[in-house]
Amino acid sequence: MSSKLHSDLAHHPKSPKTMRAVIFVGLGEVETRDVPFPEIEEPEDVILRITTSAVCGSDLHNYRGYFGPPKFPYPIGHEAVGVVYKVGPAVDSFKVGDRVITAIPDDRPITTKNAFTSPGLDLLLGGEFGTQAEYMRIPFADSSLIPIPNRISDKEWIMVSDAFATAWQGLDWAGFQPGDSVAVFGAGPVGLMAAYSASLRGASRIYIVDHNQQRLDKALEIGSAVIPINFLTEKASDQILKTSPGGVNRAIDCVGQEGVNQKLKIEWDYVLRECIRVTTTGGGIGLVGAYVKFAKSEGVPNADEVPAELSVPVAELFAKQLSVKAGTMDPTRTARQMVSLVENGRAKPSFVIDEGPFDLDQAPQLYRRFNEGKIIKVLFRGAPRPEEWEQCGEKGAPEGHVNGHNV
């Protein structure tokens, strides 16, 4: 064993052989199971002790059978805050005890071997190890983790792992400038973060669209520039264009292909069409909601429902000279901005969190409630500190305590 392979194991020989993890076992079915404890497999690996993880809206694509690896069962999750527990010999940027956020790197090769073992394609697939667990193996750790200070709650940092960074980049992709008006479609965690980011960056007017009144009410906490739009009463684009006849400068799609129409039926191109309609000439559209097509399999039983192509009003797009950018995000691109905003108290993204942290064993009922739109953002507790193993046994961290960090 290399001298650089450090671990808390040297001080805690009774480290567990298994850990608890959330597992997708079928369409709309999750369980929390004992799974093998992860180990260093490649020199660039880190083993992360997860202190807090979260359920992302993209996890519901898996839950509903639209995304995923070919077969059940598989773990899930890509949002986490944690502490470096074990370090491979080729890792240069991190040491045992460092507090970090998981990230989605864009400078590493994606192969069958590694695609399912870190928050890379895990965003859409799930795989060998997900973050909704006590520990996780992180390949290519130098580019897959973001260092954070020891102070400040996990609740703030967990949003930087995905939702806050995704929303911020969505504004960048739309070409946002201070003073712009913005329409955000979807008031889930990413949509709320998009409206919040627009407010932080000086938007003049921010429309946020949804049919879930609980989420629209939450958006009002962002500030006076926010205008909630419930499309159950009237088509969202009609409401926006009545108030802003020329349209908005930027539109952000935080829903993706599972967008629903006024009858709450999935209409795969509905949100994209609405974005095009409300965006003014010369404006920009950022698509951060997922548009992905998988082959039907045991693990993706509803893949055939997703169209391979969408119909959009290209003539309107062309005539209005609109710019469109889409794709998954990389939080390492905005890490310095995000960490600085949170560290200095300028941003407090935790306002969207309304549930948790909960024990991992509560995952089945929490997934059901999240799928029903009854939760905005839910957190899970991770692993107890090594010195707590004996006193906690298999029960996890003590009540009200999450691995040394206040939440």
**Do β-strands 279-287 and 323-326 pair in parallel, antiparallel, or remain unpaired?**
parallel
Closest CA to 190 of 378, 355, 352: 352
Closest CA to 158 of 366, 21, 365, 355: 355
pLDDT 10s per residue in the chain (407 long)?
344 444 444 344 455 789 999 999 999 999 999 999 999 999 999 999 999 999 999 899 999 999 889 999 999 999 999 999 999 999 999 999 999 999 864 444 433 333 333 334 444 455 555 899 999 999 999 988 999 999 899 999 999 999 999 999 999 999 999 999 999 999 999 999 999 999 999 999 999 999 999 999 999 999 999 999 999 999 999 999 999 999 999 999 999 989 999 999 999 999 999 999 999 999 999 999 998 889 999 999 999 999 989 889 999 999 999 999 998 888 888 888 999 999 999 999 999 998 889 999 999 999 999 999 999 999 999 988 765 544 433 333 333 333 333 33
Whose tokens are 């370090």? That residue is: 87
Whether the model pTM is above 0.85:
yes
Cα 94 to Cα 46: distance, rounded to the nearest angstrom:
9
Whose tokens are 């959009």? That residue is: 312
What ranges do the domains of the chain cover?
Answer: 8-160+332-392, 166-328
Q: Which residues, listed in sequence order, are joined to residue 47 by a DSSP beta bridge?
A: 86, 137
Helix (H, G, I), strand (E, B) or coil at 294: coil
Cβ 177 vs Cβ 80: under 8 Å = no
CA angle 234, 240, 244 (to 5 degrees): 145
Residues with Cβ within 8 Å of residue 133, at least 6 apart in sequence: 19, 20, 21, 22, 35, 50, 53, 75, 77, 360, 382
The CATH code that applies to domain 8-160+332-392 is 3.90.180.10
DSSP string of 144-179, one letter each residue: HEEE--SSS-HHHHHHHTTHHHHHHHHHHHHT--TT
Cα 55 to Cα 376: distance, rounded to the nearest angstrom:
10
User: Out of 3.90.1150.150, 3.40.50.720, 1.20.120.160, 2.60.40.1190, which CATH number does the structure's domain 166-328 have?
Assistant: 3.40.50.720
Q: Helices 270-278 & 236-243, crossing angle to 10 degrees?
A: 10
Cα 43 to Cα 307: distance, rounded to the nearest angstrom:
41
Q: Helices 163-174 & 335-343, crossing angle to 10 degrees?
A: 120
